[in-house]
Amino acid sequence: MSKIKELGEFGLIHRLSSRLKFHAPDSVLGIGDDCAVYPVKSGTYEVISTDALVEDIHFKLSTTTPEALGRKALSVSLSDIAAMGGTPKRVLVTLGIPKKISVSFLDKLYSGFNEICNRYKVELAGGDTVFSPKCFFINVSVIGEAKRVFTRRGAKPGDLIFVTGTLGDSSLGMKLLSKKGNHKFLTGRHLDPTPRVHEAGILARSRINITSMIDISDGLVQDLYHICKASKVGARIYEDWLPQSPEFSRFCNGNAIAPLPHLLNGGEDYELLFTLPADGVKNLNRQFLKAKVLVTQIGEITLRSKKVSLEMRDGATKTLPESEGFNHF
Amino acid sequence: MSKIKELGEFGLIHRLSSRLKFHAPDSVLGIGDDCAVYPVKSGTYEVISTDALVEDIHFKLSTTTPEALGRKALSVSLSDIAAMGGTPKRVLVTLGIPKKISVSFLDKLYSGFNEICNRYKVELAGGDTVFSPKCFFINVSVIGEAKRVFTRRGAKPGDLIFVTGTLGDSSLGMKLLSKKGNHKFLTGRHLDPTPRVHEAGILARSRINITSMIDISDGLVQDLYHICKASKVGARIYEDWLPQSPEFSRFCNGNAIAPLPHLLNGGEDYELLFTLPADGVKNLNRQFLKAKVLVTQIGEITLRSKKVSLEMRDGATKTLPESEGFNHF
């Protein structure tokens, strides 16, 4: 009998979901993308997703605030909706609460929920509140709407690969949580990520032919592999093109930290990773310039099926291993 | 600072939800009923709900099977959709998995999910699978559709109160889980409840003017109080009219167990509790007779605001206290 650790999260999900025999006739997408997708009326799809945060696995109460935790719990779920090109509309929140959690803590957690709900016009429409003596957990299910749906499946050889914002900040920030010093920007990127809801909206409203999209939660390489596998293509990315924040570069330089592992495999960036044909680039850049959001080409889709390779600064190219992302098991 | 235990689950939910400022303009119902409700197209509403089961609070691995646990986790969520008169369509399942849980256990759990999905034509459309070292939990979010929505709000004085099936079996069954002897029917009613999805469908398709409905999860009295408070009415129920299964009656008689506490406050019956004007009773009985499902009048709605009273066998009447249901905190 195989163990969960050997299967990994994705192997486990594949194994378990293959047992399920009933598929709704109207489903556009079921298990295996950022969201499940189905039509609700002519020209409108609903996109749904769920995400859990467990204490000491996904957060530590000693290194975050209840407000930031509330914002993050919602933001990571909203990011899944953004990854499909959708607009989040409603969330359902389950809290598993141990005795040590106070009412005042929950008040602040809800202030965090409230902030995100207001910012993105999302209704906290319901939930469940249960006693959970041994662990604190938060589960958020989110329902969004989309006119166009961006899946992982449509990337074509020759398409260009883009990413919003900068990479690696969250991963480096996580390492700095328990360290002394003022690393507010980097730790903030980990504790309080911004879901790219507005940016997904720009792409969805544009006429740009986005051929695939995902949000980077497991790390750039892992998530690019998700696109390559679903689209049956390969990808080449360039070390020199990976976008870094000034704070990230400065900290890596000043502390002899190799940036590349953070950029490639850090995870929890919650940036959008997407592909489009070259003829859409001018429009893309114009839209993002107008919105004052950084968007960077980092590589291109190749024929070489299901392989992601990196062209390094010295011109050498290597195939990147498919990490298991955060394999907690 | 008040403690969670003092507030109780419903007090806590009320306190926290009052912090939320954003309400979607199209929401028909938000927090405070079995489901949140919003229109998706002309004449169709979507109804959504979420429920968590936590090991040692909601189930014990020593007294259930993984298959039954899988069925129950889905059934209790489907029951919330039924309570609104809706048809469940899709579920999202989050598993928080500690090391002790094996792949073989999860295979069996999914067999249970699969059974319920097939029986009710519900798609398991996605989920999240996370490592949770200290506790095993299952969270199920469910999305359903309804043409008519039955809330807790519309009960009127003079309406008659009905319940599907029988009461108290689950509560008595739970007490018998660790006892020797063959109590398969009663323990089965606790471990493997039937969500009244088909019965809700009968009511929704009928022309019967259902004025309020809820599923009994917290116990008959507690859930009747939910209807009375939301509808600003009172209720009188009759001891003699509360439906008991032959197995329940026999076990109570044979073991000198008072049936009333189980019938009134047992909880987890997952039967439908609903109200209608007297002119709908003939139609109701005809429909349920045809479907071969038991439905029983247990009392009537009264003017006496927000009070539930019981007329006992000896003719005396007493006001029933509003229990806190399962206050785990």
End-to-end CA distance of chain B: 16
Q: Residue B328's pLDDT is what?
A: 60
> A133–B92: do the CB atoms touch at under 8 Å?
no
Nearest CB among B4, B31, B133 relative to A97 is that of B4
Q: Residue A329's pLDDT is what?
A: 64
**How many residues does this entry show for chain B?**
329
Contact A275/A157 with Cβ under 8 angstroms? no
Q: Does residue A221 sit in helix, strand or coil?
A: helix
Kindly state the tokens that stand for B37: 């409700």
> B22–A121: do the CB atoms touch at under 8 Å?
yes
Burial A225-246 (b: 16+ CB within 10 A, else e): bbbbbbbebbbbbbbeebbbbe
Kindly state the tokens that stand for A186: 């980097």
Nearest CB among A57, A114, A124 relative to B130 is that of A57
Q: In order of start, what are the domains of chain B with their CATH numbers?
A: 4-146 (3.30.1330.10), 160-319 (3.90.650.10)
Complex ipTM > 0.90: yes
Q: Residue A322's pLDDT is what?
A: 87
CA–CA separation, B111 and B66 (whole Å): 9
Q: Which residue of B has its CA nearest to A53?
A: B130
- Candidates B3, B4, B15, B37, partner chain A, best to mutate (most A CBs within 10 A): B4
- Candidates B6, B20, B91, B109, partner chain A, best to mutate (most A CBs within 10 A): B20
Task: Supply the Cα-derived Rg of chain A in whole angstroms.
Answer: 20
Q: Which residue of A has its CA nearest to B93?
A: A50
Contact B327/B9 with Cβ under 8 angstroms? yes
Q: Residue B105's pLDDT is what?
A: 96
> Averaged in consecutive runs of 10 residues, what is the pLDDT profile of chain A (329 residues)?
77 86 83 86 92 96 96 97 96 96 96 96 94 96 95 96 98 92 92 97 96 97 96 97 98 96 96 98 97 97 91 95 65
Residue-wise pLDDT tens digits, A174-213: 999 988 877 999 999 999 999 999 999 999 999 999 999 9
Low-confidence residues of chain B: pLDDT under 50: 1
Q: Which residue of B has its CA nearest to A21?
A: B114
Q: Where are the alpha helices (DSSP H) in A145-244?
A: 169-175, 184-191, 197-205, 220-231
Q: Residue B3's pLDDT is what?
A: 79
> B96–A127: do the CB atoms touch at under 8 Å?
no
Residues of A in contact with B7 (CB under 8 A): 103
Residues of B in contact with A24 (CB under 8 A): 89-90, 121, 123, 125
Nearest CB among A13, A41, A48 relative to B143 is that of A48
CA–CA separation, A317 and A238 (whole Å): 9
The CA distance from A128 to the nearest CA of chain B, in Å, is: 6
Please identify which residue in the block is written with the tokens 């006496």.
B304
> B49–A126: do the CB atoms touch at under 8 Å?
yes
Contact B149/B28 with Cβ under 8 angstroms? yes
Contact B147/B42 with Cβ under 8 angstroms? no
The helix (H) or strand (E) run that includes residue A223 is helix A220-231
CA–CA separation, A259 and A168 (whole Å): 8
Q: Residue B31's pLDDT is what?
A: 82
Please identify which residue in the block is written with the tokens 């990413």.
A163
Residues of B in contact with A51 (CB under 8 A): 94, 128
> B114–A22: do the CB atoms touch at under 8 Å?
yes
The CA distance from A41 to the nearest CA of chain B, in Å, is: 6
Closest by CA to A156, choosing from A307, A319, A272, A276, is A276
> A19–B107: do the CB atoms touch at under 8 Å?
yes
CA–CA separation, B24 and A153 (whole Å): 32
